[in-house]
Amino acid sequence: MPCTLFISDLHLDPQRPEITRLFLDFLEGRGRSAERLYILGDLFEAWVGDDDDSSLADAVCAGLRDCAGSGTPVYVMHGNRDFLLGEDFAAASGCKLLADPTVVDLYGQATLLMHGDLLCTDDTEYLAFRDMVREPAWQQAFLARPLAERRQIAAQLRETSIERTHGKPDSIMDVNPQTVTDTMERHAVQRLIHGHTHRPAVHELRVNGKPARRLVLGDWYEQGSVLECTPAGCRLQSLS
Ligand code: MN
């Protein structure tokens, strides 16, 4: 049966080589047999520019290129960690960059794809930061710095983010239900797939007076998490 795979929040990092291995094996196996593979943000724990010459970046680009080259189109959306993935990365990895949000036809059903951070509208502090770092001028200035300096800044930003996250109640870090409904109604969809919150689940809701579903992908900190969709439906799976 044809199948489409969705993953997100792998947070690939040199500190966790076993997760990189799990992902590379996934690309060689299930990735190749899928019709399409969507990576909905935070593939990398950090991305400081397409000129990154780390061995992690090289290994992941090579794995993606082999998977895409075998005939599985691979789509990559920006997350809040790897929003600097650019056209040079796309060329090196054979992936296509996907805008956030994007609506795709998934076996006959219009489906909205997002990373998920835009749905967390209660976290106004983060959204202000997001606006800043998505500005072309901010990105150009950042990318003009030497690689070593960018790595340092990224590490600092990550620490600040961890500190701020610890002080926030759980509800602020999750999606805002009204934003979810509004966003789905605006895009006229009954199905939404996103990651970011690291709370894998299938939520039933009503959108435009009709039943709808929000499918949340899990992170890859301890294990893998995959959403497999076929013409018969979608199911969330864990990979150990
Ligand atoms: Mn995220």
Residue 172 pLDDT: 78
d(CA 1, ligand 1 centre) in Å: 31
- Kindly give the residue spans of alpha helices, DSSP state H, lying in 167-204: 170-173, 177-186
* pLDDT tens digits for range 103-146: 999 999 999 999 999 999 999 999 999 999 999 999 999 999 99
Instruction: Map tokens 């009954």 to a residue.
Output: 190
Contact 82/48 with Cβ under 8 angstroms?
A: no
**d(C-alpha 196, C-alpha 64), whole Å:** 21
* Distances from the Cα of 178 to the Cα of 26, 58, 87, 150, angstroms: 35, 41, 34, 37
List of residues 6+ apart from 135 with CB closer than 8 A = none
% pLDDT > 70, the chain = 100
d(CA 234, ligand 1 centre) in Å: 22
If one counts the domains in the chain, the total is 1
Copy the structure tokens of residue 194.
């996103």
d(CA 135, ligand 1 centre) in Å: 18
Main-chain phi, psi angles of 110, to 5 degrees: -65, 125
Residue type, 117: D
Domain containing residue 146: CATH number? 3.60.21.10
* pLDDT tens digits for range 38-80: 999 999 999 999 999 899 999 999 999 999 999 999 999 999 9
Which has the closest alpha carbon to 19: 46, 43, 51? 43
Question: What's the gap between Cα 176 and its chain centre?
Answer: 18
d(CA 82, ligand 1 centre) in Å: 9
d(CA 194, ligand 1 centre) in Å: 10
The answer, yes or no, to whether the previous bond of 101 is cis (omega within 30 of 0) is yes
d(CA 204, ligand 1 centre) in Å: 22
% pLDDT > 90, the chain = 90
Q: How confident is the model at residue 228 (pLDDT cuts 50, 70, 90)?
A: very high
d(CA 48, ligand 1 centre) in Å: 16
List of residues 6+ apart from 99 with CB closer than 8 A = 77
Residue 165 pLDDT: 80
Domain range for 18 is: 4-239
- Mean pLDDT score across all residues of the chain: 95
